[in-house]
């Protein structure tokens, strides 16, 4: 078995210090609970546990390999770290299982993790020929090869267009169907070759590697990333205590659009037009803590090129709402 290395040697958490600064006012109190809903290899969680010695971190990830690596990295914190195998849109169910009604901090670091990119047999990286898997949880669900080999042309084109923002989606889908009739797709190299042949060279010169949009689209479809994300951010905001804060790192416009819409909705009054006084139930229940989406500085991008496309949005819960799904008293988490 190949040595997979230490998590801290393989992963540089994006905007870690900035995120800790923004979450700090909510996590400094004794008994604070923070949910790292995309645990990965534990870089952000380690920062929280180190800086806020009275906080407990619930770490959620659908990738069992990530949980194992993060567990090794964070084992020194004992029962202050609670790892959970789940998808991030199950945050409500996870907290219920731990007896936690509301939390002081939540972080989502969306997209594909460094672990998944670095593991060549996962199929996420288009620069390496590997099995077309792309599942974040390899124990369940269809693979990228299943999508390529079974979707009708119109549905495949929709996935490439909507999730990859691929200009040549219909042309690529038609070529995939022709190729799979000859032989089913199994590895990424053959797909990359098809994309190089199909996408015009002028577009390749202008837009970079011809596979990046198709691979993004397949990954999003296989893992239901946008559907999960829409459900997850709503559930996470619902479980924030008053004064609690949520931070979201997005890496492409589709994720960031959902994030922006959800946080803006909570930060906007719902007072009907013409009503002279804002009633309490119409007042915003979130306060935006970043002006738009913050980006990493030049120095961080040079040190960690994977940070280049990151966009950070942070908001604070300012009041309870009648729509809140839980009004139970907060309990201490159980190991």
- Known binding-site positions: 42-44, 61, 88, 109, 116
Residue labelled with tokens 């979130």:
286
Beta-carbon contacts of residue 58 (< 8 Å; ≥ 6 apart): 33, 34, 35, 36, 82, 84, 94, 95, 98, 100, 103, 333
What one-character-per-residue DSSP string does 234-278 give?
HHHHHTEEEEEEEEEEE-SHHHHHHHHHHHHHHTS--PPTT-SS-
> How far apart are alpha carbons 170 and 93 in whole angstroms?
39
Residue labelled with tokens 């946080």:
263
For 94, half-sphere exposure in the C-beta direction (CA atoms, 13 angstrom radius) is: 27
> How far apart are alpha carbons 46 and 169 in whole angstroms?
41
Residue stretches of the annotated binding site for S-adenosyl-L-methionine: 42-44, 61, 88, 109, 116
């Amino acid at each position: 078995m190949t040595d997979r290395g230490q998590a801290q040697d393989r992963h540089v958490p994006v905007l870690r210090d900035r995120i800790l600064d923004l979450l700090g006012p909510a996590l400094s109190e004794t008994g604070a609970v923070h949910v790292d809903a995309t645990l990965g290899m534990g870089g952000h969680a380690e920062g929280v546990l180190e800086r806020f010695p009275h906080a407990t971190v619930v770490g959620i990830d659908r990738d069992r390999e990530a949980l194992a690596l993060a567990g090794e990295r964070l084992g020194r914190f004992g029962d202050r770290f609670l790892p959970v195998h789940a998808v991030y849109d199950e945050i409500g169910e996870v907290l219920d299982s731990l007896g936690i009604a509301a939390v002081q901090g939540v972080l989502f670091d969306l997209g594909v993790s460094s672990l998944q990119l670095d593991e060549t047999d996962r199929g996420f990286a288009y620069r390496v020929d590997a099995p077309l898997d792309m599942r974040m949880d390899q124990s369940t669900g269809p693979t990228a090869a299943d999508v390529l080999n079974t979707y009708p042309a119109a549905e495949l084109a929709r996935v490439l267009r909507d999730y990859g923002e691929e200009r040549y989606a219909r042309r690529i889908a038609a070529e995939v169907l022709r190729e799979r009739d000859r032989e089913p797709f199994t590895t990424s190299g053959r797909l990359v070759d098809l994309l190089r042949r199909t996408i015009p060279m002028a577009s390749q010169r202008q837009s970079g590697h011809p596979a990046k949009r198709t691979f993004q689209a397949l990954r999003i479809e296989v893992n239901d990333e946008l559907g999960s994300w829409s459900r997850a951010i709503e559930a996470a905001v619902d479980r924030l205590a008053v004064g609690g804060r949520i931070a979201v790192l997005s890496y492409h416009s589709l994720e960031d659009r959902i994030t922006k819409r959800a946080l803006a909705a909570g930060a906007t009054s719902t007072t009907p037009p013409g009503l002279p006084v804002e009633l309490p139930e119409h007042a915003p229940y979130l306060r935006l803590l970043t002006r738009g989406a913050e980006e990493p500085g030049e120095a961080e991008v040079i040190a960690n090129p994977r940070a280049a496309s990151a966009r950070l949005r942070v908001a604070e819960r300012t009041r309870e709402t009648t729509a809140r799904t839980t009004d139970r008293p907060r309990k201490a988490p159980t190991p």
